[in-house]
Structure 1
Amino acid sequence: MGDDSAGDFGTSYYRSLDPIKNLQIRVHLKRVTGSSLVPKAVLPGGNRNEDVAEGQEGIPLKPLRKKSGAAGGGGEGSKAQEEEQPNTENEDLYIFDWQEKVFSRREVQLYSNEASCEGPLEQKYFTDIKQQKAEGGRKTKRIFSYTDYDSFTHKEEESLTTTSPNEEPSFLAEKMRNVRRRKKMERRTRDAQGDPMLMQRRTNLVVERPSEEQKKSSHVIDTPMNTMYIMADLGVMDSEPKEEDECTLCTIKVSMGGVITVSPDFTHHRDPYTIVTDSAGRDTFQYTLTLASKSMSSKEQARENKMYHELLQRHTDIITAYVGQDFEQAPPSTLRLCILGEIVSAKNFEYDGLYVHYFVELPRHWAADRAQMLSGVTQTCFTKEINREYTSNFSHPFEMELYYQMNEFTEEDQDTLPKWPQLFLEVLSLDTWQRYRTEGYGCITVPPNPGTYTFEVKMWRPLGKSSYDDMRRFFIGGSPELEDPSYVSVPLTHDGKVLSRFGLKTETTGSVTVKLNLMQQSRAFMDQISSRKNVGTLIDRLGGMTVQSSVAGVLDLFQKARKRMQAAQDKLTTI
């Protein structure tokens, strides 16, 4: 009908905990110009100027009067009365309640005939219009509304993919534009005897063999929203009402979660929205949207806050009754370590059909439950070339729960750093001829701090003393193995100061990616938070934040510096 301009027509979203029935919106519509840019005078006697075309409206001119003095002082009062009672033709003001039905001129003509009202909704509208005429007619001249029960759908509502203003709607959006996506009233008819109390279904709800047209029209996702449209009839009031003259002023949508969508937003203190009609006269209208809901008093707000607080407290009590107050705590002087790990993948090994055997070795003062599994084997996975690397993806999860006990300390343990558990990995291969081969060994020391870690463990395997071992590995399988897989690191049974591996020939193979999620629980942490003091006894022994973490940090920096030196030497050799 018209072109919208001179205003921010963006959509705003509000969230309200109050019932939606309390929503009220004040709409003030005013025609700024008449049928043309130059006002046409209307004489007091009722005669129009000859230039005024038939069917057009003119702006009435006030007769000239002499200014009244103090004795006559009624000018300001009459002006106030004119502002309180706007012109019904050029200005319209109304306060809408949520889902309040206000009929338009076209609807009054349509539903005034009882013969054209078939469904229960049309019958209700016929009764309302009849009662409205008995009470004096329509309350507004141009403003009306469409509720959620009406079969109106805004033609300009499109489901666009992006927010770009240059995007054009797709073919599906064009077809879905006119499809009503809100709940529909069930159409019923009277029975054969004409009894209005006995209603029968016009069609069966279940269609055994739907046609293609029924599939397209019925398979529509219903949006869980209630919609209300505030409209305006911008046509000439004396002419026949047309549907083309109707223009949407505001669209209000309310979801089940209490989110209110207002498009366009309330004007607040901004300039009013402007609409220019497409008619020959190019009439210009301005309108404002303001929130007219009654504000709550301080007593009502206090009563509502108290009610919400009681409801929340009751909900908390119910959850507490379900969960209970017995929270499992770690024993005194004990650290509980929960390991949630994953063997992600293995890369760049010689043979296919890989699987990983892993186990955790517990140092002194560490323990686990008897039912706890400290070892496991992954599934067999065949390799696939990804980014020029032969990769076997395992995604094998494992879970362990370990305890570090302080009550078993002796005087010799007071001056030694605690050792953390180690995760040992052994990669093996199995081909279709049932030939087993050892592909590599590796190990990880569990970090002392909680958090998420990702390790890429470099693997190696021992070599034989002659080419006979290589030939046996290739033809019949089998290869040199370690009798004790913990030999990859320093075994717990080793008592000496130096572990010599002189004479052992090894070969670098591939790598295994491991993820670890670590959680720590101890009563010492709670004591530290409650007392706000440094609890040094248990924390120092656990090596969480003190000496061991410092040593680990220094070693990490040393390894990084060593890698940078090796990279620099490689560049010099290439030059």
Structure 2
Amino acid sequence: MNDFSRQNKITGVYWLKGSVENIKIRVKLKPIDGLISLPKLEEFTSTPNMIRSEIQEHTFIWQEKSFCIRELQQYANVHNCITDTELTYHNMITNSNYEPSNVFTYIHDDYHLPLPNNVKTNKSGIFDLSFCMSMLKLNENARSIQQSSSMGHLFRSEENVDCDEEQWAAMHVMLDNSEYNGDSQLLLKQEITLVSIYHNKINNYLIMSPDVNDLEGNSYAVDTALGVPLGYEYSIEVDFEEMGNSEELTTLLRKLLKRWEKKQKYLMTFSMPPLDKKQYCISLDILSATDFDMDDLYIEYNIKIPETMSCNGDLHGRTHTSKALGTHNTQEWNFGYIIELDLEMPVDLDPPSLQIFFEVISTDWWGRHRTEGYSYLPLTLDIGCYRKQLTCSRPEESDRVQGESRRFFVGGCHLIKDLEVLAQPQLQDTKFVFTTIGTLSIQWNIISQTHIPRADYTPLPSTSTASAVLLGAEAVLRQYRKARARLAAATKDLTGSRKDGDGDG
């Protein structure tokens, strides 16, 4: 559960292309400590809208009126109804069997909270501090409070609504946490706003406070006006699928998809490998190095491929220079250098291994380059993703004093003339020995592509001119062979009869 999301509720804005009448607002309410009933509602658990399961779900359409217990008690008595809206609610309750709900709604005609345009802004869209201070004048009359103050809804009625508010319509989903006695009479009124939705009729957009969220990932907490938690969490969802513009939007998306597919058809052409070839794509990443003596390291690599392979890519290169991170005892050099190779070989041969040689080199302020270590990787062409730690070793002269002096003053000397000695230690020269030092961390990915034709495969004309000429020549040769066979079959009988006639004469 995300505590930040529960305590810091944000506001969302949604632009509409169609009517707002068909949207659905879905509120899910769940007790934090498990299956419990809402406070002070034990007397009404027999009604269908009360909590009977761990999660209760309430769905409302735009401007749908739902009543709590207090409203049913109030509007059921016609003597409590004065305004036209209250009389309408009385008729609704009288003509229909409305059940009380702990989650109910205030619609626009209830004038529950001030609308967004009650707070004026300056031209730049930033709230004017002088205007806010003017709202604190305590000697203004009730009429001016109605026009500008956030307390204006206390003085509002259907007769004195500001004409500017015609561009807004509001709806509020509430939670009834009031206290009632055994006769369902109100003892203490306590209503918590779960979500407020404002619709701008001119520009056709919604403002939701708070915004939609997820009950499992970032639920909102139900708190009183004083910030006291009630032990519940809830989520908000808005369904736009049944809006009138859904068909128009679907048609637009299909047209965009066709245009995208048509464009990608020319931009992303996949080239199949030849029928007699197999291709390998290798991506090797030199990640990091650890436990070396000197700083400012870079890595040179040399790759040897078998003669049966052809390669598209750099077989020799070097990384950038990296500085050590961490403490003196645990130093690490990060590289993140990627080597990409495209290999091709005959399809009827087993893939041989590649030989990859790494040389770790350090630099200093004097421009000296020292070999810190070598490593060797026999890379088998097995499809998959792999990661490995390579141990590095450094050749040192038999005379350690002379070797260390030469290494300090001039950076040492290249004792290894041929890197093949790393793959075949028996070729090692006895004039130097190897000392293990440092490790390299690498990972690589290998994929393979082979063109296997189907039984009904018919070769398509290639874009290559040479391939087109070859295919044409093969077609002409096949036709010539067929014609020659038909000619031989047709003249076979003729040749036999001619020989018979000669014999008779």
Q: What is the TM-score of this pair, normalised by structure 2?
A: 0.49
